[in-house]
Structure 1
Amino acid sequence: MQKASPGVYDEVELVSFQSVSKGMVGECGHRGAYFELVGFDQEVQAQIYKLISIGICPPVIGQCLVEMMVNPPAPGSPSYQLYQQEYSSIFQSLVLRSRALHEAFVRMEGVECQDPLGAMYLFPTITIPTAAVEKAQEEGRRPDEYYCMRLLEATGICVTPGSGFGQREGEWHFRTTFLAPGVDWVARLEKFHEGFMNEFR
């Protein structure tokens, strides 16, 4: 942005992150990442890098994965075609799953969710019926936590209550990912939600 529009973004300080576990290929469980500082004062940048360098010691596998992530096979290399094929296959599969899950949320009563725009998570808002809120309070749980536990017990689908991320009083969310293979589990989620809403209507 700074190069494309000289003077407009001169005062913008931007930090970019990328990791092997949260990147497009999603090598979950492996620890390796990088960050880049743009627009920072050189002295501030030097101090940040010094501070970060003290506390990091990524495992060798993580370092190798970062190297492969930032330097993938180049056109003409022996593995380029296979890499592109596998990369595209993973990407298309993620697109398919994200769309299937988002479309399910659109159909579900009392659920609102933004379009998936790149992250591997969706964070829908859910309207939890008053009777379910009361039941959750009886059990000493937050309503979103109660919903998530009931979903897990009924379907085996594990989502994270939004209350763990901070939310407005009286609003409820849950975070879910679409990394699980296939889309058959999306129908289980819809069926559970319909039953939950009917139970506490």
Structure 2
Amino acid sequence: MGFARPIFHIEYRFYVQEVSPQIGSVYGGTDVYVYGGGFANGTRIQLRDQSNRSFPCNIISIQSNQIHCQTTSNSLQVTVTSNGFHPTYGFGYAWYPTRETVRQGTIVTWYWSSPELSTPVYYKIQQVANAYSTEPIPYGFDSGSSTSVGSFSYQFDSLGTFYYWAPNIDQSTGYSMRGVIDVVALEPEIMTVETILNNFTGKIQ
């Protein structure tokens, strides 16, 4: 006489039901609460924008039905280099790009280097009032002393047009490099909140 083997089914429920708040800052620091089920240690939270860029949300606490995390900055990054070409002086004597349009909150990083140039060139970044000014703006952005190799970053939080220069980069010519950053309004963006545990992903907008 045989015995039938019992049939049983194991179900693991991992889901996202609600996310709060619905609005946060692009600069990070927003406390986010994700409600659902099946959460466990090792669960990750990230936000994904419409350009498919992902930004981690740092875990504060995890319960089986709730996760508390804090957002990181999703500010855009833009690079400007000293690799531009000047029609008279040639390579290394113009910013590239010379003028850039960025969204509010963007971090612009300048990189400069002159080892390939025949004469020493020394760069810096200093904010001025307009395209012709030779006086720095009080409390404007400034990278400090001129150097042949270096970098400088600045986050543009205000709207407007920002002029800058690298004064007297070549002492033999007295030439100064200039550039412009145009900052436009940051438009609201929809982010998808992704909850990830092993091979499971729960999403909600």
- Same fold flag (TM > 0.5): no
More helix by share: 1
TM-score relative to the length of structure 2: 0.29
TM-score relative to the length of structure 1: 0.30
More strand by share: 2
